[in-house]
């Protein structure tokens, strides 16, 4: 389902192909301090690594047994690498981990001519990041979580400012390329749910709170959460938020926070991890957290580019 191709500068004394046990080779190279290594093949597809006084021999296998690497041909666009990394980092944690919800096991790349929307949801929360797109492009593609994790690693290690994306509609594949690497993955088939219809209008019950302070309060309260009693309680009154958690077999935690709030008094529960996941990705010093009642999603909006929805939980 996933293929990664990496190009490395080397002095090639004799051209050819070598196929090695990947994980074992990786583990060995992690423990090698030599900057220059000699890699050679022996009879029977054996592989020898030499470096200074270092020597290791591994058993490989025939390159003919290695699966063919697909060549992706079709439409192609370029995106800023830093922007793409931010769009993914602020959304992919909301993907579903449940195998029964296959189309939600990945991130949606929704190209809408002059903008790109990156969307992830597990049915209980939704993260959306959008930005302008040049040139115009249209199409919807669901990329598996495993490929997204590898894509983040590829971006972090590249020195280029641009990531090229190629699409193969015929083979249902997508490729992300840099000058020295390429990631190819099969797309998830199916229709991503209509996420636009669940995004609410702005609420007047809007709480302005310091991001770090909110994160730390939720983190402390979550320490008393259990599998049977997950939700933490948020009690909101005029310019005041109280975060609390009571677990009879463990104890109680309560914390008051000064906020800016002029909306309705409200008592509401949330899964603390769903709040922590988004809060740790936000660089802004303050956020607005919209509360829409005990049966409607809480909403975090950052400018016009980012929105995060999270459904409340019943307090027990």
Residues 161-184 pLDDT 10s: 999 999 987 889 999 999 999 999
Q: Find tokens 């009642």 and name the residue.
A: 293
> Given 176, 198, 220, which residue is the final one in a domain?
198
Residue 211 has pLDDT above 80, yes or no: yes
Q: How far is CA 296 from CA 67, 198, 279, 291, 299, in A?
A: 48, 10, 20, 8, 9
**What is the per-residue pLDDT across 71-90, written as a single tens digit (0 to 9) for each?**
888 788 999 999 999 999 99
Does residue 286 sit in the same domain as residue 212?
yes
Both 58 and 83 in one domain: the answer is no
What mean pLDDT value characterizes the chain? 92
Is 163 within 8 Å of 79 (Cβ atoms)? yes
Domain co-membership, 31 together with 113 = no
Q: Which of 164, 198, 232 is the last residue of a domain?
A: 198
Q: Is residue 316 part of a domain?
A: no
The string of pLDDT tens digits covering residues 9-27 is 888 888 888 898 889 988 9
Q: Considering the entire predicted model, what is its pTM? A: 0.89
Q: Are 24 and 93 found together in one domain?
A: no
User: 249 lies in a domain?
Assistant: yes
Q: Please give the average per-residue pLDDT across 120-130, as a whole number.
A: 97
3-class secondary structure per residue, the chain: CEEEEECCCCCCCCCCCCCCCHHHHHHHHHCCCCCCCEEEECHHHEEEEEECCEEEEEECCCHHHCCCCCCCCCCEEEEEHHHHHHHHHCCHHHCCCCCCCHHHCEEEEEEEEEEEEEEEECCCEEEEEEEEEEEEEEEEEEEEHHHHHHHHHHHHHCCCCEEEEEEECCCCEEEEEECCEEEEEECECCCCCCHHHHCCCCCCCEEEEEHHHHHHHHHHHHCCCCCCCCCEEEEEECCEEEEEEEECCCEEEEEEEECECCCCCEEEEECHHHHHHHHCCCCCCEEEEECCCCCCCEEEEECCCEEEEECCECCC
Residue 271 confidence (pLDDT): 97
pLDDT tens digits, one per residue of 128-165? 999 998 778 889 999 999 999 999 999 998 888 999 99
Within a domain: 70:
no
- For residues 106 and 13, membership in a common domain is answered with no
**Distances from the Cα of 58 to the Cα of 7, 20, 53, 64, 259, angstroms:** 22, 8, 17, 18, 62
What pLDDT, on the 0 to 100 scale, is given for residue 74?
A: 79
pLDDT at residue 232, rounded to an integer? 97
Q: In terms of domains, do 216 and 147 share one?
A: no
Across 185-201, average pLDDT: 95
- Is 136 part of any domain? yes
Half-sphere exposure of 133 (CA within 13 A, CB side): 22
Q: The CATH number of the domain where 84 resides is what?
A: 3.10.150.10
* Judgement on whether residues 95 and 186 belong to the same structural domain of the protein: yes
Say how many domains are in the chain.
Answer: 3
pLDDT at 3 over 80: yes
Last residue of a domain, one of 65, 90, 111: 65
Asked if 191 and 297 sit in the same domain, the reply is no
Residue range 296-302: mean pLDDT, rounded? 96
User: Of 52-56, 166-170, 225-229, 283-287, which one has max mean pLDDT?
Assistant: 283-287
Higher pLDDT, 175 or 67: 175
Whether residue 71 lies inside any domain: the answer is: no
| pLDDT surpassing 80 at residue 61 | yes
| Residue 244, pLDDT score | 97
pLDDT > 70 fraction of the chain, expressed in percent and rounded? 100
DSSP bridge partners of 140: 110
Identify whether the C-beta of residue 209 lies closer than 8 Å to the C-beta of residue 218: no
Per residue in 214-271, pLDDT (tens digit) is 999 999 999 999 999 999 999 999 999 999 999 989 999 999 999 999 999 999 999 9
Shared-domain flag, residues 184 and 297: no
φ, ψ of residue 189 in degrees (nearest 5): -85, 145
138 and 160 co-located in one domain: yes
- Out of 155-159, 199-203, 305-309, least confident range: 155-159
Residue 80 lies in a domain: yes
Confidence of residue 36 (pLDDT cuts 50, 70, 90): confident
190 and 212 co-located in one domain: no
The pLDDT of 184-212, averaged and rounded, is 95
Greater confidence (42 vs 216) lies with 216
Least Cα distance to 267 among 309, 228, 312, 297 occurs for: 312
Domain range for 263: 206-310
| pLDDT for position 219 | 98
Same domain, 185 and 210: no
CA distance 72 to 22: 24
């Amino acid at each position: 389902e996933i293929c990664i191709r990496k190009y490395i500068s080397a002095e090639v004394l004799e051209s050819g192909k070598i196929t090695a046990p990947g994980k074992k080779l990786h583990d060995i190279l992690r423990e090698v301090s030599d900057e220059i290594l000699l890699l050679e093949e022996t009879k029977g597809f054996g592989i020898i690594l030499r470096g200074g006084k270092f020597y290791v021999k591994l058993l490989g296998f025939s390159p003919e047994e290695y699966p063919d690497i697909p060549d992706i041909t079709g439409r192609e666009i370029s995106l800023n690498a830093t922007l793409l990394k931010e769009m993914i980092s602020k959304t992919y944690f909301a993907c579903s981990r449940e195998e029964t919800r296959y189309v939600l096991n990945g991130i949606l790349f929704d190209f809408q001519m002059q903008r790109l929307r990156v969307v992830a949801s597990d049915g209980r929360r939704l993260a959306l990041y959008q930005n302008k797109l040049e040139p115009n492009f249209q199409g919807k593609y669901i990329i598996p979580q495993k490929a997204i994790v590898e894509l983040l690693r590829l971006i972090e290690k590249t020195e280029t400012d641009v990531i090229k994306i190629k699409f193969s509609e015929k083979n249902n594949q997508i490729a992300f390329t840099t000058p020295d690497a390429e990631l190819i993955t099969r797309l998830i088939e199916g229709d991503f749910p209509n996420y636009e219809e669940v995004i609410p209008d702005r609420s007047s019950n809007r709480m302005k709170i310091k991001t770090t302070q909110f994160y730390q309060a939720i983190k402390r309260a979550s320490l008393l959460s259990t599998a049977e009693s997950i939700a933490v309680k948020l009690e909101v009154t005029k310019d005041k938020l109280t975060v609390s958690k009571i677990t009879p077999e463990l104890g109680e935690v309560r914390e008051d926070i000064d906020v800016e709030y002029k909306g309705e008094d409200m008592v509401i529960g949330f899964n603390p991890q769903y709040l922590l996941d988004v809060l740790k990705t936000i660089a802004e010093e303050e956020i607005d957290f919209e509360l829409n009642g005990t049966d409607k999603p809480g909403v975090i909006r950052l400018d016009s580019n980012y929105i995060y929805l999270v459904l409340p939980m019943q307090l027990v």
